[in-house]
Structure 1
Amino acid sequence: MTKSQTTGEIRDTGLAEALSERYLSYALSTIMSRSLPDVRDGLKPVHRRLLFAMRQLGLVSSQGHKKSARVVGDVIGKYHPHGDSAIYDALVRLAQDFAQRYPLIDGQGNFGNIDGDNAAAMRYTEARLTPVAELLLEGIDEDAVDFRQTYDGETEEPVVLPAAFPNLLANGSQGIAVGMATSIPPHNVAELCGALSHIVKEEMLGGGGPVSTASLLAHIKGPDFPTGGSIAEAPEAILQAYETGRGSFRVRARWQVEKLNHGLFQIVVTEIPYQVQKSRLVEKIAELMQAKKLAMLGDVRDESTADVRLVLEPKSRNVDPAVLMESLFRQTELENRISLNMNLLDREGVPRVMTLREVLRDYLAHREEVLRRRTAHRLEHIARRLEILGGYLIAYLNLDEVIRIIREEDEPKQELMTRFDLSDLQAESILNMRLRALRKLEEIEIRKEFDALTEEQADLTDLMAKEPRRWKIVGKQIADLQKRFGQDTALGKRRTDIEGPPSETVVPLEAMVEREPVTVLCSAKGWVRALRGHNLDVAETKYKEGDEARFAIPCETTDKLLVFTADGRFFTIGVDKLPRGRGFGEPIRLMIDLAQDKDIVALMVHKPGRRLLVASDDGRGFLVKEEDVLAQTRTGRQVVNPGDGASATICIPAEGDSVAVVGSNRKLLIFALEEIPEMQRGRGVILQKYAGGKLTDVKVFNLADGISWTLNGGRVRTETDLLTWRMKRAGAGRLVPRGFPQNNRFN
């Protein structure tokens, strides 16, 4: 039940209807008025209101600073009815030279640092606009953009800024709305101007078709971050990101090797990726060292002052610096992913994902519209001034009569308008004229101004009528901006290098994990742990009540474990990720997405280059390379596809030249290993046929050595005369030799 605020009417409304209506209003408000930037000036409402309020306060770059609290208070009181902390946080970010490629606010005081320390309270800091911000506001008093009423209706605020600076791509933007988000990294403004000039030349003045993204990237190399670093991406990936408006960039720290005495060296990181807190980065490296996951790194020190300087000391002089840095890139934020999601409000105020060309075209269209509006505003001003000057000239030609009318007539204004056919403005201007303006010299100056304004009016009228002329002026403005922020200037010089994809530097696992002998224990119910050392007395190991031992695998912390389950899926677990200590370990299901009704069939150490024989209990199987079963995710990799009602039961190394297959019907079949095909995944081929039974065990062996099996008590029996059971694959086989185990298994 809801009550109207205007009429007081109470009406029944369904909860779902009321919620959907209000949530939609909230979502639209968040998208349009809070979180997504405008493609024209690249600003969100809070940033736009901050800059406009500071201009109204006279905080231009040529004047002194004023307290940030004064700015925040003015913004809250007039334009932005939100919390002061949110507004001050926005102000601080616009002033941080490590967050903004081209800062819009010149801050004085503590505005935070790259370590992640917060800025001082607003009562302690001061701010004013930068020249870049003044470019965004240039022409705002000349009817360049539309204004709307503020939230209380007492004053007006701009809908968008004139934006003589391509702020959206130059400074980037991040925001999370309702159901959508935006993420735009900063770019180099000189390169942006080159691309804008290219569009003006080819599309606006050349009359050709749309320019390609590839031609734009001949000018725009990629993002240019205020913290420098390097982008390690293939040109094809960069092109696809800008063509679709979605993608990501791999950003790496910049580093160099410093030689020391006695053949020693240290690595110095001088630039870190964008939006990475240096203090947190150092803490992460220290944590990895303590966890023995950076075996090649000896020490890390932060020697930063105004410039970043992280010193990394290797454990020995034999460490390859490239391998050490590659291991750090893989495990720390020395390599960071910066996403590109150009989800914006276009010129019509519609939120959508835009391509690079669409963003640049909308910005150019906005600049052309600003030029037209400023020209029309100037023409109105000239027309008014010419009207006044025309009245002055009439007064000078009839000076004695004008003086007489003013002295003798009761209503001189009306008489002047009637006598000399003057407008109300002209008559009012004559009456307000000073006596000192009646000298002859002033008349000459008025005629000069009249002629100059008449000439300017004709030129501007021609400009309004000819679109190509307007585009030439827009092109000149962009060229001037490119010269102002050129690569030879301190602010305009590119800071982020564009490199190709990272080289295939092989990082041995030992570089990230300290090698240590361990024994992996996995119980029948799937509890896994790693105990230090080999040759442990496994029989003395304790398990949870109702549980028992199943797998005991000697290995090293740098090894990988392959887990094969009854549904035919392989999982990969790093031994260094297993729990250590004297407890019962952890359920292996916490580390992999193992189905509750599926059991572990095999657990073994991965050996590169080896092949495995995998089979299900319906008698089908195949060979697979171990490299093809490695899984990168928790969900594993489906390799065997068991038939209906069947389960995967066999996973053994294929080391030998012959295969022995035995079923629950106690029939044995031996055939050559080469008869089994090698596959990457599937159901496999028939190994042995069964009239009423299932496959129970498989063994790969060398025929010359014979086949062996384990008897009760641990004794081993070997059979070398195997002619009776040697047949082709997919046969039924013959009864097992006398003395074969009753469980129909070789071990």
Structure 2
Amino acid sequence: MSDENNLPKNGDESLHTSVPVTGMYKEWFLDYASYVILERAVPAIEDGLKPVQRRIMHAMKEMDDGRFNKVANIIGQSMQFHPHGDASIGDAIVNIGQKELLIETQGNWGDVRTGDRAAAARYIEARLSKFALEVLFNAQTTEWQLSYDGRKREPVTLPVKFPLLLAQGVEGIAVGLSTKILPHNFCELILASIEILKGNRSNVLPDFITGGFADFSEYNEGLRGGKVKVRARIEEDDSKTLLIKDIPFGVTTDTLIDSILKANEKGKIKIKKVVDNTAKDVEIAIQLAPGVSPDVTIDALYAFTDCEVSISPNACVIIKDTPVFLNVNDILDYNTKQTRALLKRELEIRKAELLEKLLFSSLEKIFIENRIYRDIEECTTWDDVLKAIDAGLEPYKPDFYREITTDDLVRLTEIKIKRISKFDAFKADELMNRLQDELKEVNHHLRHLTDYAIAYYENLLTKYGKGRERKTEIRTFDAIQANTVAASNAKLYVNRTDGFVGYGLKKDEFVCDCSDLDDIIVIRKDGVCMVSKIQEKNFMGKDILHVAVFRKGDERMVYNYIYLDGASGRAMVKRFQVLAVTRDKEYLLTKGSKGSKHLYLTANPNGEAEIITVYLTQGAKARVKVFDFDFASIEIKGRGAGGNILTRYPIRKIQLKMEGVSTLGGINIYYDPIVGRLNTDERGKLIGNFLGDDRILVCYKSGDYELTTFELTNRYDVANVILIEKFNPDKVLSAIYFDGASKTYYIKRFQIETTTLNKNFNFISDHKNSYLKLVSTEKQPQARVTLAKGKEEEVMEYDLDMLIDIKGWKALGNKLSTYEVKELSLIETKKPDVKKDTETDENDNEAESDDDIEIGSTIDLSVKKDDEEQLGLF
């Protein structure tokens, strides 16, 4: 302690001396950061627990007597080891209990699905689960340390023989560091660990207690930079009601409903009401507004609400007091090898225990049967007693696995006279034989340690795997274009003269309903095309000819355009598409010559090509001053193409003569069986070429059929679809289904008689166990059937069209066979490849030169070159 005379007094200069704190700050900050990382936020890789969780588990183990304990009591017990307050301990206990793995709970522990909090700690109870007792604790293999105040002993890490870190998941934020490891499936982790022990590489994917769908294509093995998309499970109850059955991980029913209501207020979706019917299972009912498509609304819910969330994992763990970033498969590999090492250590400990028991049992038998105890009767000192016993054991020492110590001799002197008098050599031999057998078993396990570890994992799976099957369905999600599925929450207006476009110009010309996410395309009289994001009021250039909502990549929208080229004086004609552009960039549709001007423009959403009548001026030298032109006679090219020559003479006016039809033909529609969606990008199976009124036929395993449009927003349940094809009302459906009531297969043939769209019609028996086995629209379908005839099996091939006549779709059908059907499959017929009706030219978007073919020569091929000027076409 400092001498009082050396303390600074008032007036001393030393009181006002400045002390730099830079170095102190650096040291203190690093110390604090290290403390938070190691002692609070990041789990150890060995047991997957944060310090507070480990101390809770240790405290519960000390308290364990098989009965439930009040959580308040557990908190108090844990505070002997944990230097923080009771609130942090209580929250950690609830968090562990809600994961339903290590703790058995009693009382109201809250609900992760609804966000409801647990009751107060004095009202709820907990105890260690049987799984935790078996997997987490072993005092003999635990490394111990003193608690924060030195009064207690606590584990450095628990000897966990299971990948607990991946099973529970963890999330923590430290100073300058964070970790987020997603929970994985219990059963899949065990199976993956078994594969690792067999020498194979594992690849585990997260599984969430809230269920739903998840896309792990960008998971990146849980490393930083990866991403997981999770979606709610949304079912179509009827044409006016959607039901949300599962919610995404990390989202509660309350936050989900709030996001839906906000999206509705902003006009992104259109709904009437949301009702939370969640009880034992999640169910949120969404009632749709009149005229709203359920399929489009489902996409909009995923696009604009918490029905779809993106989770960014960041796997960080503590290894030897250092934070390390590892992928989840490396973590699992580490935990699996650690489990094997712990099992080996336990076996070695047990082996040592057995050897000691065998040693002492042998010593005891020799001591009693050879009456060595009588040799010590004459001894007068303690040393003489020990020497006498040691001398009596001398002939047997070579048979022992280790040297006999003084402690062994002392233990023999502690045998009571009563035990000596009642010693039974037969029972002693039996005990030693049992110990020998167990020792042989332990040695066998040590020699075959990998097989022993695999058997250990298999035992865990058998005992605790029931009810822990995967809850989250693995899917590949399709990309949802937000502007495609957004509800029309705005109206588009235009002031053509002044050049303003937007949803705030309510006094000007109305164009169409739109969304505030849309892009707008404008074509002006000066031959400029431009695309811009919709705004309240946006200047896009004066003298607007055409304005509409722009759909990127829309190959069906074709513009028919005629303009006067200022340089040559020719009237040029072109058909073009606008597939992809840069926002707010001006694109010339003419050749850019001074004096070029617009003559004619139409926008055709399905590639229509009309016929026009062209009137030349009275002063034109051409003799034929009026002629017709069909836009179908030229090809569709890029927006930058110069076009073909329509005429060299000045045009007085152009009039529409006849509305055109599409020159694009039908649309080739594909079905992607991975995401259950239609597309035109050649992904999946080609269903067919579709025109306006064509329909799609879908048959489901549930025994329903449905007619739908070919809108790309349609959704189909991948797991339930058994047939999807272009609907032909003349085709006959041949179906074989299993009747749940009679447990027999039936066959029926029928034609679709209904015309209602987007409605399911059940065509098999209505028993809950009935299901559709196979269905075909082939003219002469064949099936291969394996029948059980007594003890033998016979394979038959049936022509289904010969077994039963065509009946109504509600008919029950006939029994397929009186024998038991073992196997059933369609015999596929080879179909010719369906070629696309339309093919695109790679050079369509290239601009043409001035040497383009003149249009007049395509009207009448019999016209001679000498007569061209007289016809007035040029």
TM-score under structure 2 length normalisation = 0.56
| Correspondent of 2:515 among 539, 555, 558 | 558
Residue 286 of structure 2 aligns to which amino acid in structure 1?
A: L
- Residue number in structure 1 paired with 2:38: 32
- Residue number in structure 1 paired with 2:316: 343
The reply to whether residue 396 of structure 1 matches residue 375 of structure 2 is no
Q: 1:279 to 1:704 in 2, by over 3 A?
A: farther
Residue 104 of structure 1 aligns to which amino acid in structure 2?
A: L
Structure 2 Cα separation of the partners of residues 49 and 482 of structure 1: 27
- Residue number in structure 1 paired with 2:128: 129
Residue 278 of structure 1 deviates from its aligned partner by: 0.7
- Residue number in structure 2 paired with 1:659: 592
Structure 2 Cα separation of the partners of residues 243 and 232 of structure 1: 13
- Give the match's secondary structure for 1:183: strand
- Residue number in structure 2 paired with 1:186: 183
Residue 322 of structure 1 deviates from its aligned partner by: 2.0
8 Å contact kept, 1:242–1:356: yes
- Residue number in structure 2 paired with 1:223: 206
Residue 475 of structure 1 deviates from its aligned partner by: 1.5
Residue 309 of structure 1 deviates from its aligned partner by: 0.9
Tell me how many residue pairs correspond in the alignment: 561
8 Å contact kept, 1:534–1:554: no
8 Å contact kept, 1:36–1:44: yes
| Correspondent of 1:364 among 333, 336, 350 | 336
| Correspondent of 2:49 among 30, 40, 43 | 43
- Give the match's secondary structure for 2:190: helix
Structure 2 Cα separation of the partners of residues 292 and 111 of structure 1: 38
Q: 1:672 to 1:363 in 2, by over 3 A?
A: farther
Residue 274 of structure 2 aligns to which amino acid in structure 1?
A: V
Residue 417 of structure 1 deviates from its aligned partner by: 4.5
- Residue number in structure 2 paired with 1:306: 280
Residue 325 of structure 1 aligns to which amino acid in structure 2?
A: I
Decide which structure has greater strand share: 2
Residue 142 of structure 1 aligns to which amino acid in structure 2?
A: Q
- CA deviations over 1:94-146 (Å, ceiling 9, x no partner): 111xxx2x4321222221222212222212211111223223324x1232x32
- Give the match's secondary structure for 1:273: coil
- Residue number in structure 1 paired with 2:456: 477
Structure 1 residues 26-425: aligned runs within 5 Å: 26-58=32-64, 63-77=66-80, 79-96=81-98, 100=99, 102-113=100-111, 114-138=113-137, 140-143=138-141, 145-201=142-198, 203=199, 211-212=200-201, 216-217=202-203, 220=204, 222-234=205-217, 237-238=218-219, 241-242=220-221, 246-259=225-238, 264-295=239-270, 297-316=271-290, 318-346=291-319, 348-399=320-371, 402=373, 405=376, 409=380, 411=382, 414=386, 416-417=388-389, 419-420=391-392, 423-425=405-407
Residue 84 of structure 1 aligns to which amino acid in structure 2?
A: D
- CA deviations over 1:362-405 (Å, ceiling 9, x no partner): 11221122122212322332343334323312321243x52573
For the pair shown, which has the larger CA radius of gyration, 1 or 2? 2
- Give the match's secondary structure for 2:376: helix
8 Å contact kept, 1:244–1:354: yes
Structure 2 Cα separation of the partners of residues 65 and 513 of structure 1: 57
- CA deviations over 1:296-332 (Å, ceiling 9, x no partner): x22211111121111111123x543221111001111
Residue 82 of structure 2 aligns to which amino acid in structure 1?
A: H
Residue 289 of structure 1 aligns to which amino acid in structure 2?
A: N
Residue 344 of structure 1 deviates from its aligned partner by: 2.0
8 Å contact kept, 1:660–1:670: no
Structure 1 Cα separation of the partners of residues 68 and 531 of structure 2: 61
Q: 1:426 to 1:182 in 2, by over 3 A?
A: same
Q: 1:84 to 1:505 in 2, by over 3 A?
A: closer
Q: Which moved more, 1:331-340 or 1:377-386?
A: 377-386
Q: 1:625 to 1:170 in 2, by over 3 A?
A: farther
- CA deviations over 1:65-116 (Å, ceiling 9, x no partner): 1111111111111x211121111111101111xxx2x432122222122221
Structure 2 Cα separation of the partners of residues 43 and 248 of structure 1: 24
Residue 474 of structure 1 deviates from its aligned partner by: 1.1
Structure 1 Cα separation of the partners of residues 558 and 349 of structure 2: 79
8 Å contact kept, 1:184–1:339: no
8 Å contact kept, 1:518–1:554: yes
Structure 2 Cα separation of the partners of residues 83 and 703 of structure 1: 93
Structure 2 Cα separation of the partners of residues 307 and 170 of structure 1: 23
Residue 501 of structure 1 deviates from its aligned partner by: 2.2
Structure 2 residues not aligned, in runs of 5+? 8-13, 394-403, 523-529, 552-556, 560-575, 601-636, 641-647, 654-848, 851-874
- CA deviations over 1:672-693 (Å, ceiling 9, x no partner): 99xxx9899xxxxxxxxxxxxx
| Correspondent of 1:493 among 469, 473, 483 | 469
Decide which structure has greater helix share: 1
- CA deviations over 1:142-177 (Å, ceiling 9, x no partner): 32x322222122232222222223212222221222
Q: 1:173 to 1:414 in 2, by over 3 A?
A: same
Residue 607 of structure 1 deviates from its aligned partner by: 3.2
TM-score under structure 1 length normalisation = 0.65
- Residue number in structure 1 paired with 2:550: 607
- Give the match's secondary structure for 1:352: strand
Structure 2 Cα separation of the partners of residues 506 and 73 of structure 1: 54
Q: 1:92 to 1:563 in 2, by over 3 A?
A: farther
Q: 1:404 to 1:112 in 2, by over 3 A?
A: same
8 Å contact kept, 2:303–2:482: no
8 Å contact kept, 1:387–1:426: no
- Residue number in structure 2 paired with 1:664: none
Structure 1 Cα separation of the partners of residues 303 and 240 of structure 2: 22
Structure 2 Cα separation of the partners of residues 46 and 571 of structure 1: 57
Structure 2 Cα separation of the partners of residues 519 and 406 of structure 1: 121
Q: 1:252 to 1:304 in 2, by over 3 A?
A: same
Structure 1 Cα separation of the partners of residues 209 and 471 of structure 2: 7
Structure 2 Cα separation of the partners of residues 308 and 243 of structure 1: 28
Structure 2 Cα separation of the partners of residues 434 and 658 of structure 1: 117
- Give the match's secondary structure for 2:230: strand
Residue 287 of structure 1 deviates from its aligned partner by: 2.6
- Give the match's secondary structure for 1:148: strand
Residue 125 of structure 1 aligns to which amino acid in structure 2?
A: I
Residue 308 of structure 1 aligns to which amino acid in structure 2?
A: V
Q: Sequence identity of aligned pairs in percent?
A: 24
Residue 128 of structure 1 aligns to which amino acid in structure 2?
A: R
- Give the match's secondary structure for 2:312: strand
Structure 1 Cα separation of the partners of residues 358 and 165 of structure 2: 40
Structure 1 residues 541-552: aligned runs within 5 Å: none
- Give the match's secondary structure for 1:257: strand
Q: Which moved more, 1:81-90 or 1:168-177?
A: 168-177
Residue 351 of structure 1 aligns to which amino acid in structure 2?
A: P
Q: 1:471 to 1:420 in 2, by over 3 A?
A: same
8 Å contact kept, 2:231–2:248: yes
8 Å contact kept, 2:102–2:128: yes
8 Å contact kept, 1:190–1:483: no
Residue 499 of structure 1 aligns to which amino acid in structure 2?
A: R
The reply to whether residue 433 of structure 1 matches residue 428 of structure 2 is no
- CA deviations over 1:587-624 (Å, ceiling 9, x no partner): x9xxxxxxxxxx9999987534699xxxxxxxxxxxx9
Structure 2 Cα separation of the partners of residues 13 and 379 of structure 1: 63
